[in-house]
Structure formats: structure tokens, C-alpha cells
Structure 1
């Protein structure tokens, strides 16, 4: 038999049947809880600026506060995940998100927004390593890789649907509509809290350190070459990708491509559709193959996507510019699938059980750093009309990333790279 025929067939029915009960509980509520996040995510800056009358510069600083706080608490959050368990940290983070959304619903001053965004940042910082560690504690082998991919699709589905509903509901002339969507976001947090206090109350997501195992700190982790290279790749993925989606991409599309906000909204909707529709075909294609090869496919797809976006500047305010902007987000979404399947799976397959929280925290920290630096760089370049330099920076970053992925592949064993099941 060939390697191709040996690879298992991936389908939603088989995936669901193979999941252990805790994994089913975790996955079944993802779209619901992210629906609340989708209600508020696209409209937060509008709420701060147009409804509460706070300047755009201050609004941008407030939004950046989320990533800054998340970066600060990610390290301690990862350590606490290993010590007290992923479930407890998720309860703490989700409760913080709930309270933060309630504060934001009624915020009218900068200090109130600061409190709300600090609470949201705390959740994002501690929940990422805790959630990934909890998944890894209940799902193993090739199923773990599939789980991360399906979870990513459901997150995008929830946020996408939430954005559509929020867009139809909110009205800047009616401040109460914004208050209600933030309260709905808060209520959606009751779903994971109830799950963690109920059906998943016995899944703590904590492993005891073996007596003969050395103590491992963050510097010890980063001294491991594969961890260091994966951290660098994650940073580049965010700097070039997610760090630009809410800043560089819309700014370039408006200033250089001169497309409407409606076109940008359509591009985001198509991005979500591509991720949801293509998730299982991509999972089928990559299962049993080296995860690093999937990351290289992502690099190629993203390279083409940035070239496509650059074409928007050749004919501003034309159908060609619209196609370039929408095409960029469609291609970007297709590349995202490979990244979200590979990176969390490699991270957790490299980590021993008792350091899983810290391993995921390192990865989350790299993501947060890219999310902070990405908008700063794109803002400076586009503010000074250096759109060509902006595109060139993204393309150069992808070339560097491809080299880093090749180096990483040489440092992973077959299990860590997805060729065999752990």
C-alpha cells in the first residue's frame, strides 16, 4: 500500500465518533460562545468613537491595551495552568471576560474602558494556554490535530455569524443597541462557565511533574531549538497575518485601493466562508503528512495573497481593486487553515504533559507580540504613504518564514511533525 492510501479518511461524522465525551462537550459550545465575541468585535472602535465620543487615537490605544495586558499575563497564566489546572484558569479567564463585557456595555469614560479592556486582556492572556492545554489533555494523536482545525473553523463561524447579526442590529443613533450586544457577549460566557462547572468539572487538565523530571522554566523552553524556531514562526505568522487584518489590510484597502467599507465587510465574510468550507478538505490533505509542509503551503498562499492585494493600487476605486481586496481575504483564509492545524498541534506534541501550559503560553506570547508590533509597523508605513514598502515588508517576512520552517522541520521527529501518532 502507498502512503496515500494508508492515511485515514477525515470526515465530520468519523471525527465526532472518535472524540471522547469531554472533547465533544468542549467542541459543541465553541460557535455559541464565539457568537457573542462576533457581535462586538467589528463594532468596538465604532462604539468608542462614534457612540461615546472618544477620539480615534485614544480608541486605538484602548484596543491595543487588550494585547498588551494579554502579553503580560500569558507567562504567569501558563505557569498557573500547569500548577492549578487548565479548567480553573479557564473559569477565571472567562469570568473576567464576562465582567469586562458588562463594564464595556455601560462605559462612557476612558477609565471605564480601561477597566473593561484590562479584564478582556486578562482573559485572552490566560485562556489561550489553558484552553489548548485542556484540549491536549483529553484528545491525543492525529485526532488532536483534527480537533484544533475544527475548533478554528467553529470559532470563525461563530465570529462571522455574530458580525452579521451585530451589523444588522446596532445603530450609532441608538447607544442602547451597543449596550445590548456587549451584554449578549457577556451572557455567552455563561456557556463555557456552565460547561466547566458541570460536565467538565472532573477534567482538570493538570499533570504531576515526574519525580525524576527537572524543573522547566520559560528560558529552559526557549533554549530548546525547535521551541525557539516555532516561537519565531508564530510571531511572523501574526506580524504578517493577524497583526495586519484589523489594521494594515483595511487601511491599505481604503487608502490605496479606495474601496468602500462594504467591500471590506464582504472580504471578511468570504474569509470566514473559505475557512468553514475548506476545513475538512484541508484536514484530509494534511493528515499523516508533515505539518511543516502544510506551513510551507501557507507561506506560498499568503505570498500570492499579498501580491493580489498590491494589485488594488493599480486601479483604485475600480472593480479590479474590489476583486484584489476580496481575493486577498479569501486566499488569506485558506492559508490560515494550514497554520491553525499545524502550530497548536506541534506545540502540544513537543511538550510533556506537566509543562503543557507553559509551552502554550510561549506560543501565545509570540502571537501577542506579533499582534502588537504588526499594526505599529503598518501604521507607520502607510501613514507616510509607503504602501510599496508595506507590501515588500510582508513579502520579505514570508521569505524569512519559509526559511525558518525548513530549519524547524529538521529539528522535529516524526511524531511532533504529524507523521505518526503519539
Structure 2
């Protein structure tokens, strides 16, 4: 099938993404249950343990991506995956609460180092016209891994007294992938980065965060991440508190929608610019969120979950493609790493949704989800401004290119 003919290294990233997500979701979703039921840790401390992972991951994403620009994709991927494997071994045998804090922090660190580096490597080995297909396949792998992982984890006893096995299986998956990456490193050499292209970390920070198009994209993505966070936080509390079966069904609909419409949708949106797709995506996110608060009928909730998931696909798949388009090749890792700051929105969205539920109560769904819809719409002006700047940049580049071509032709005619 023509559309699936990627570079072997691209396949290694896509399949590795499936494996890493499967291993991750075999255990981490059940970690809170494990810490409470098996280790006897109180809920407030468990929340703090889980939050540490998110907090550490926010800053380490940029550092990990930038390091991959300087040290190479393979060394950073292999070392992070090998170390990540040891973290899960630690979860299996840890007894002390402070050790769980440390392991949670390391979990966030190594995941945030691995993710942007893997995305940068995928962009490195894929031509610009094929990147949408490659990131589409990667996102498909993420969702399949996210679906398979919890089921396997439950079968292996995740969250219960036999949680040693799932942690060790996850560690084994990560270790096998690290070995596979070593083999790929030996078989498929990447183009070495030109020494002249390497810049200091300070200059890298300056370049990335002075890129106005990227900054507008990043600011918009903060609100997008906030919108997505409501799927397993605000919505789970709002619907799940008295209709857990309905919430579980909607979660399945979310996964099935990704599997069914992701490929044709991203093919369709190739006709438009990446930022146009992001603008449409954030609006669909908001409309989907509003529907969750307006309707109790299951069929209407399914409809708005499909709308919500359509926005999710557009924002997350096309967002990765956009970074590949605007990032200089020698700073691609840093750009993908900086994209990790969108986690701020995820944290804030979870917090804001909880506050609204606490203050207004579960009976005020239309008001709560209308506010959350407006917050999702806040991404639109940032994406729109970024699109205008990018169009102006491209127009100026074309004008300069045309002027140079005319001068060359004049010199040729004169001679």
C-alpha cells in the first residue's frame, strides 16, 4: 500500500510507540489504585505522587528534545528507554513513599525525554509530503496501545496484590525496545548533524522562543490541552459519578472514532494549511465539550463525543506535522520538546474543571461546560494569528526567491 511505505526507522518509531504506550498503560492508569490498596498510601499523597510526574515532564521535554539535537536521536532514545525500563522495575519493588515520589518524577522525566525525540526522529526520516501520513500512523499506534495496555494490565493483575508482574512486563517491553533501537542504530545510520549547525543551549532557547509562529501555536495548544484534559477528569466526574457505564461507553466511542475516521480525516485536511486544521480542531473541541453539559441522552452524548474526538485528531496529529514544517532541521528536537509546555494547559484544565464542579455542583452542567467550551475556543485567536504570520513569512520568502531568480536571469541575458 503506497501510503504506508515509510523509512524503516519511521516504522521503528511507530511500532515502538505502540509498544511503549502499551507498556505504559498496562500499569500507570492503575498506579493510584495500587498505591492505595496495596501500599496503604492516603489519597492526598497519591495525588501528589502522580502530580510530580506531570510537573517534572513539563520542563524536561524541552531539555530532552534539545539534547537529541546535539547528541543524536539514537543515543537519547536508547538511554531514556533503558532508564525508563528500570523505573518500572523500581515501581514493582518500592516500599517507601519517598521512593514512589522519586520514581514518579523519573517516570515523567524519561517519558518527556523519549516522546519529543521520537517525534523529531520520525520527522527526520520522513519527507515533508509524507509526514502527515507518518504522524497519522503514530497517533493510530498511540490509541491502539492505549486501548490494549489497560486490558492486558487487568489480565495480569494491575492495581492488585499481584501488580509485580505487570510492572515487570512493562519494564521488559521497554528493555526490548531499547535493544531494538540499538540494532536500528547499527543498521541505519542517520545523517550526522553539521557542526556549524550546532548551537548552544542558550541560543537554542532564544531561537525557539523568539519564533513567533511557534509561540502562537504553543499558546493555542495550551488551551487545546486544557480542552482534552476534560475527557478523563471533568467528564469522568460529571457523568461517571452516577452513570459510570455511560462514561465507560463514551470512552470506547472516543477510541473507536480515532480508529475509524483518523486516516480519512487527515487525508481530507491535507487540502488545507496545518493552522487551518488546528483552528477547525479547537472549535470542534469546544462544541464537543458543550454537548457533554447540555444533553443526558446517550445518543446525543455519542454524537458530541465524535465531534470532540474529531477535534482531538485534528489538533494532535496536525500539530505534530506543523512543528515539522516550521522547525529548522537542526533544532527539530528542541521544537518538539518545547511543545511539551502544553502540559501546563492539561494541568490547568483539570484543576479548573474540578473547581467549577465543586462551586456550581453537578446539576449545572450547561453552565460548567459552556465555560469550558469558551476556554477551548481561546485557542482560535492564537492559531489564527500564527497562520497570518506564517502566510506573511511564506509570501515574503516567495517574493525574495522571485527577485533573486529575476536578477539571475538578467545577468544571464546581459552576458
Q: TM-score, normalised by structure 1?
A: 0.85
Structure-2 separation of matches of 1:180 and 1:415: 54
Structure-1 separation of matches of 2:299 and 2:154: 23
Q: 2:22 aligned to 35, 41, 55, which one?
A: 35
1:151 is matched with which residue?
138
Offset of 1:153 from its aligned partner? 0.9
Deviations 1:330-384 (A, max 9, x none): 432222111122111111211111111111111112x221222222222222222
Q: 1:404 aligned to 2:382? A: yes
Summarize the Cα distance change of 1:346–1:144 in structure 2 as closer, same or farther, 3 Å threshold.
same
Is residue 15–residue 141 contact of structure 2 (8 Å, CA) maintained in 1?
A: no
3-state SS in 1 of match to 2:360: coil
Is residue 198–residue 330 contact of structure 2 (8 Å, CA) maintained in 1?
A: no
Is residue 133–residue 205 contact of structure 1 (8 Å, CA) maintained in 2?
A: no
2:217 is matched with which residue?
230
1:301 is matched with which residue?
284
Offset of 1:124 from its aligned partner? 2.0
Q: 1:200 aligned to 2:162? A: no
Which ranges in structure 2 are unaligned for 5 or more consecutive residues?
396-415
Offset of 1:252 from its aligned partner? 1.8
Summarize the Cα distance change of 1:221–1:31 in structure 2 as closer, same or farther, 3 Å threshold.
closer
Is residue 78–residue 126 contact of structure 1 (8 Å, CA) maintained in 2?
A: yes
The correspondence of residues 174-323 of structure 1 with structure 2, limited to 5 A, is: 174-176=160-162, 178-201=163-186, 202-204=188-190, 207-208=193-194, 210=196, 216-241=203-228, 243-255=229-241, 258-260=242-244, 262-312=245-295, 320=297, 322-323=298-299
Offset of 1:213 from its aligned partner? 8.5
The correspondence of residues 11-160 of structure 1 with structure 2, limited to 5 A, is: 13-17=1-5, 19-160=6-147
Is residue 301–residue 335 contact of structure 1 (8 Å, CA) maintained in 2?
A: yes
Q: TM-score, normalised by structure 2?
A: 0.86
Q: 2:151 aligned to 118, 141, 164, which one?
A: 164
3-state SS in 2 of match to 1:216: helix
3-state SS in 2 of match to 1:245: coil
Larger Rg: 2
Is residue 65–residue 113 contact of structure 2 (8 Å, CA) maintained in 1?
A: yes
3-state SS in 1 of match to 2:41: coil
Summarize the Cα distance change of 1:203–1:248 in structure 2 as closer, same or farther, 3 Å threshold.
farther
2:307 is matched with which residue?
331
Structure-2 separation of matches of 1:200 and 1:25: 11
